[in-house]
Chains A and B, each alone.
Chain A
Amino acid sequence: MSIYDIIFYLFAAITLISAFFVVTIRNIVYSAFFLLFTFFGVAGIYVILGADFVAMVQLIIYVGGIVILMLFGVMLTNKITSVAIKTGTSQIVPAAIGVGMFAGILTATLVNSHWRKVDTAPLLPTTQSLGLMLISEYGIIFELLGIILLIALIGAASLARK
């Protein structure tokens, strides 16, 4: 067990525990803050996997942006602590079927996919290759995503002006 294993389990624990609390806790501000730690844990796991750029973007966009926006939204609502979130069980049969199918697909993917096992390869910076790929290979998708975001932005602005 090396230091990286310890760090991995630490981040995995952060992610899982805080994700559990996001779902179960009744106070939505708490949920939002736990979501922050979930995203942070995921970013940590990205770093361990060698996806440094993705980890940073995860931090900037999710921790620095989305969670903050959610917190803003939550704090602007007047009911915070006593929101009736359904945590009881209803519709057990359809839910069980859905969860079962999803779990089945996940396990199937886990078992059948060829995981690349690299033990000693140094973690190379990914930013440059990622950038080149985005511009060349996935150029059109990248541009389309940009246009979608722009449309969303304009739509939001025009909605807000009404």
Chain B
Amino acid sequence: MIIYDFLYNLVFSITQSAVAGDITAMVISALLPLFILVLPFALLAVWLERKVSAHMQDRLGPMRTGSHGWLQTVADVIKLLQKEDIVAAANDRTLFNIAPILVFAGSYLVFAALPFSSAYIGSNIDLGLIFIIAASGFVVAGILMAGWSSNNKYSLLGAMRSAAQIISYEIPTILVILTIIMITGTTNLRTLSEMQTGYFWNWMIFGGAGFSLSKFLFIPFMLIGFVTLFISTLAEVNRTPFDIPEAESELVSGYHTEYSGMKFAMFFMAEYANMFAVSAIVSAIFLGGYQSPFGYLGNTFGLHWLIPIEQFLWFASKGVFFVLVQMWLRWTLPRLRVDQLMALCWKYLIPIAFVNLIIIGLITVL
């Protein structure tokens, strides 16, 4: 919002036009997270993924581009930019071209509501949590679009699996989010983060702020909710062990089999952006969002401008931590079968989330 106002005033002073000021400020502040966060994060995450997987398999991974290969993704992106943009004759050209944009837009929409720090939230809307769930609908539509327009059995199967999986796992996600809404009475992510201020025992996973009997009663159910949410969001971003939509051994690479060059890069970036978004949501809900677990250096030294920066760093590091856990899981677990996937969702996660919801509701009433 500070950035928005600054840009607005800047353009307004030049053009004397409120509309021009609004449009410029909106466009720039909307693109800001893309260039300062999503792109660098995607570059970092792809590199991290390769290094983490390599070291978990006693390999080294990329080593020759830059120190320990940190420029490898940059090189890959440059390569992808140069590649020919192939549209096969049998593809449905229009939908084929729109699909990656829709998928990326869907995963980028989430970033509008993420509370990066108390000073920077793309849009501090009151329905942040619900907005995040709503935005994932575009990803599903985009994936289906990509799968269908590719005119390829692997793509279509991958897209169908992905859509079925995302829709199924949205239910436990929403149920867990509902329990949180029940306790806190807010869907605003900033308010939610502010509620968990102070020290780490004020985080939702430890029952939220305040010292009462209900806080201690919450703790085990919060842990269950946390694990449920983590598993179901993991399934929503199609990561291993839930990566059956792009199961390499059966479906080549699922819905983006036919894509090449920059369109493929958009799918790839959307996947990594989604990974971060999901981790950020989990940490915003349960682990205090941008709140520091031990208080702020800015408060200790009396430098108040330092606090938002610290908060951003905490938020980013919590996000990256969960991304690392996702990678860790990816290189630990084999892929689930389709029936196992559905069994996990409908027989385990949803009943557990429901029972959790009811119990937490009862505790809240007490």
Contact = CB atoms under 8 A, between A and B. Distances in A.
B134 A127 contact: no
B22 A127 contact: no
Contacts of A75: 144, 148, 156, 160
B187 A2 contact: no
A63 B126 contact: no
B167 interface: yes
Interface residues of B, number: 29
Chain B's interface: helix, strand, loop or mixed, by majority?
A: helix
A2 B131 CA distance: 25
B130 A63 contact: no
A3 B22 contact: yes
Nearest to A67: B141
Nearest to B164: A72
Nearest to B149: A29
B105 to A, nearest CB: 10
Chain A's interface: helix, strand, loop or mixed, by majority?
A: helix
Contact of A60 (B18, B22, B137): B137
Contacts of A29: 95, 148
Interface stretch (A51-59, A84-92, A142-150): A51-59
Interface in A42-85: 52-53, 56-57, 59-60, 63-65, 67-68, 71-72, 75
B19 interface: yes
Given A2-B18, A75-B148, A68 B127 contact: no
A83 to B, nearest CB: 15
A3 B137 CA distance: 27
A71 B148 CA distance: 10
B125 to A, nearest CB: 7
B130 A3 contact: no
B282 interface: no
B163 interface: yes
A1 B148 CA distance: 41
Contacts of A6: 19, 23
Interface string B140-176: 1100110010000000100010011001001000000
A56 B134 contact: yes
Contact of B126 (A57, A59, A125): A125
Contacts, number: 74
A33 B135 CA distance: 16
Contacts of A53: 127, 130
A64 B187 contact: no
A63 B127 CA distance: 17
A128 B131 CA distance: 16
Most chain B CB within a 10 A radius of its CB, from A1, A29, A64, A67: A64
Given A64-B170, A72-B163, A56 B144 contact: no
Contact of B19 (A2, A59, A127): A2
A125 B18 CA distance: 25
B137 A64 contact: yes
Given A64-B134, A125-B127, A3 B26 contact: yes
Nearest to A74: B148
A2 B23 CA distance: 10
Nearest to B141: A36
Nearest to A56: B130
Interface in B164-201: 164, 167, 170, 187
A60 B156 contact: no
B144 A71 contact: yes
B26 A68 contact: no
Nearest to A4: B22
A71 B126 contact: no
A52 B125 contact: yes
B133 interface: yes
Most chain A CB within a 10 A radius of its CB, from B22, B23, B127, B156: B127
Contacts of A71: 141, 144, 148, 163
Contacts of A65: 137, 167
Given A64-B137, A67-B137, A67-B141, 7 more contacts: A1-B19, A3-B18, A30-B95, A33-B95, A56-B127, A60-B134, A127-B127
22 contacts: A1-B19, A2-B19, A3-B19, A3-B22, A3-B26, A6-B23, A30-B95, A56-B134, A63-B134, A63-B137, A63-B141, A64-B140, A65-B167, A67-B137, A67-B141, A68-B167, A71-B148, A72-B160, A72-B164, A75-B156, A127-B126, A127-B127
Interface of B: 18-19, 22-23, 26, 95, 125-127, 130-131, 133-138, 140-141, 144-145, 148, 156, 160, 163-164, 167, 170, 187
Interface of A: 1-3, 6, 29-30, 33, 36, 52-53, 56-57, 59-60, 63-65, 67-68, 71-72, 75, 125, 127
Closest 4 interchain pairs by CB?
Answer: A64-B137, A59-B134, A125-B126, A3-B22
